[in-house]
Amino acid sequence: MDEIVIEGGARLKGEVRISGSKNAALPILASTILAPGTSTIYNVPDLIDIKTMGKLLNHLGAKVDIETGRVNVDVTNIKNPEAPYELVKTMRASVLVLCPLVARMGEANVSLPGGCAIGARPINLHLMGLEKMGARVEIEHGYVKVKAKRLRGSRIYLDIPTVTGTENLMMAATLADGTTIIENAACEPEVSDLAEALKKMGARIEGAGENIITIEGVDSLKPINYSVIPDRIEAGTFMVAGAITKGSIKIKDCIPGHFDAVMAKIKETGVEITEEDGGLRVKGVKSPKAVDLKTMPYPGFPTDMQAQMMALMTVAEGMSVITETIFENRFMHVAELKRMGADIKVEGNTAIVHGVPYLSGAPLMATDLRASASLIIAGLAAKGKTTLSRAYHIDRGYEKIEEKLSALGARIKRERE
């Protein structure tokens, strides 16, 4: 297993290019199932999760060819509507093949994802939506078995604006008989990007990116060439890395409108963010001010940036109150940050962070993707050496992170444990 070794204290400077979005690429790759033939998806990041989705599509009978930045998926011969436990347990987003399989083949047999490090994460709303569309849903031996000759359009209200739930049901509705209306839908940019890809296939979708999405079912969809949006969470992560090292970096190839809430909070600390041709310049300040934040569905502050922002707050001036409202166990980074000298108290879903003058490097353990990003950010600013073991967590969602940070002047390398 690899570990990431960081010698803290270097100010980041230079430019970094943001990769394609993991959470947009995954549903778009799953959506290719809906359109017999070969689709080519561009700007796909080189990540473990993308390889897992490739393996899963392969298992279903697709031919998948992954090259740098490009994935070809030939779904002509999809014949096995089963997502096995071995793949679902390594990546929950495997559940995104559920609705495309039902829509295309009339059935799916998908292992139920268990809980994960950050929360229980049930898929009851995905299943409720499918039942409303006329599918028969049964749970047996840890698998959800869904059957429907042809799904029918329906009005579906989501109790929670679930991201992958909205994506799954939107995909199901594209080939259903009649009109589907998804109310209280997730508005994340990744949902809109999937809708754009589906529309290019010939789907009729209105309102994606808003909380009511209307989908008019069509008889068939055709394969596409499509380029995925940049990763707003990677962009936010580099911004915080620039801020915590008091650096000056340019974030290139991002869509600033996708992370307004993150930029607003970073600016509130006193850090400067300005538009510069083809990107955003982030300039750190001597003493960033503590700010409070609460995670919310889009366009609120993203839960996927909470851990990274907490790292910045550990060395900010004053007290910060951070409330996590999306997942029930997303403070796994707290114990590790405390081992670096951070002053954090957790009460329920709230963390109270008192800024300290500095963090000190320590051996740390990665527990999940965004917690790992938080610990790397903390390590960049800490005095001395930080080693982060179980680096595979970071490789699930950040393309070549140590190469990108090294190019910005960070003293960071990967070693075999």
Q: Which of 227, 229, 237, 217 is nearest to 169 (CA)?
A: 217
Catalytic, 116? Answer yes
User: Exposed e or buried b for every residue in 280-289, given b needs 16+ CB within 10 A?
Assistant: bebebeeebe
Relative orientation angle of helices 232-244 and 306-313, to the nearest 10 degrees: 10
Could you say whether residue 332 binds ligand EPU (CB under 6 A)?
Answer: no
Q: Which is nearer to ligand EPU, 290 or 306 (CB)?
A: 306
Could you say whether residue 374 binds ligand EPU (CB under 6 A)?
Answer: no
Q: Which of 4, 26, 282, 391 binds ligand EPU (CB under 6 A)?
A: 26
Q: Which is nearer to ligand EPU, 187 or 382 (CB)?
A: 187
Q: Rounded to an integer, what distance in angstroms lies between the CA atom of residue 143 and that of residue 146?
A: 10
How far is C-alpha 73 from the geometric centre of its chain's CA atoms? 21
Site stretch for ligand EPU (CB under 6 A), options 36-44, 122-130, 192-200, 271-279 = 122-130
Could you say whether residue 327 binds ligand EPU (CB under 6 A)?
Answer: yes
Could you say whether residue 45 binds ligand EPU (CB under 6 A)?
Answer: no
And the tokens for 218? 């069509």
And the tokens for 391? 């680096």
Could you say whether residue 139 binds ligand EPU (CB under 6 A)?
Answer: no
Output the smallest distance, CB 369 to ligand EPU, in A: 4
Q: Rounded to an integer, what distance in angstroms lies between the CA atom of residue 19 and that of residue 325?
A: 28
Q: Which is nearer to ligand EPU, 300 or 318 (CB)?
A: 300
Q: Which of 8, 45, 165, 379 binds ligand EPU (CB under 6 A)?
A: 165
| Number of neighbours of residue 222 by Cβ within 10 angstroms | 12
Could you say whether residue 370 binds ligand EPU (CB under 6 A)?
Answer: yes
Q: Which of 12, 125, 146, 241 binds ligand EPU (CB under 6 A)?
A: 125
Could you say whether residue 337 binds ligand EPU (CB under 6 A)?
Answer: no
Q: Rounded to an integer, what distance in angstroms lies between the CA atom of residue 388 and that of residue 372?
A: 8
Q: Rounded to an integer, what distance in angstroms lies between the CA atom of residue 387 and that of residue 365?
A: 8
| DSSP H helices in 61-123 | 85-90, 98-105
Q: Which of 160, 218, 285, 319 binds ligand EPU (CB under 6 A)?
A: 160
Q: Rounded to an integer, what distance in angstroms lies between the CA atom of residue 229 and that of residue 192?
A: 10
Q: Which of 58, 77, 124, 225 binds ligand EPU (CB under 6 A)?
A: 124
Could you say whether residue 129 binds ligand EPU (CB under 6 A)?
Answer: no
Could you say whether residue 121 binds ligand EPU (CB under 6 A)?
Answer: yes
Q: Rounded to an integer, what distance in angstroms lies between the CA atom of residue 282 and that of residue 134?
A: 50
Output the smallest distance, CB 93 to ligand EPU, in A: 4
Output the smallest distance, CB 61 to ligand EPU, in A: 23
Could you say whether residue 164 binds ligand EPU (CB under 6 A)?
Answer: yes
Output the smallest distance, CB 151 to ligand EPU, in A: 18
Output the smallest distance, CB 27 to ligand EPU, in A: 7
**Site residues for ligand EPU, window 385-414 (CB under 6 A)?**
397
Site string for ligand EPU, 256-295 (x = CB under 6 A): ----------------------------------------
Output the smallest distance, CB 122 to ligand EPU, in A: 5
Inter-CA distances, 238 with 134, 189, 372, Å:
45, 19, 13
Output the smallest distance, CB 193 to ligand EPU, in A: 11
Name residue 34's amino acid: L
How many Cα atoms occupy the beta-carbon half-sphere of 53 within 13 Å?
Answer: 31
How far is C-alpha 118 from the geometric centre of its chain's CA atoms? 13
Q: Rounded to an integer, what distance in angstroms lies between the CA atom of residue 409 and that of residue 250?
A: 13
Q: Which of 232, 219, 197 is nearest to 30 (CA)?
A: 197
| Number of neighbours of residue 234 by Cβ within 10 angstroms | 26
Interacting residues with ligand EPU (CB under 6 A): 23, 26, 93, 119-126, 160, 162-165, 186, 190, 302-304, 326-327, 369-370, 397
Q: What positions carry a catalytic annotation?
A: 116
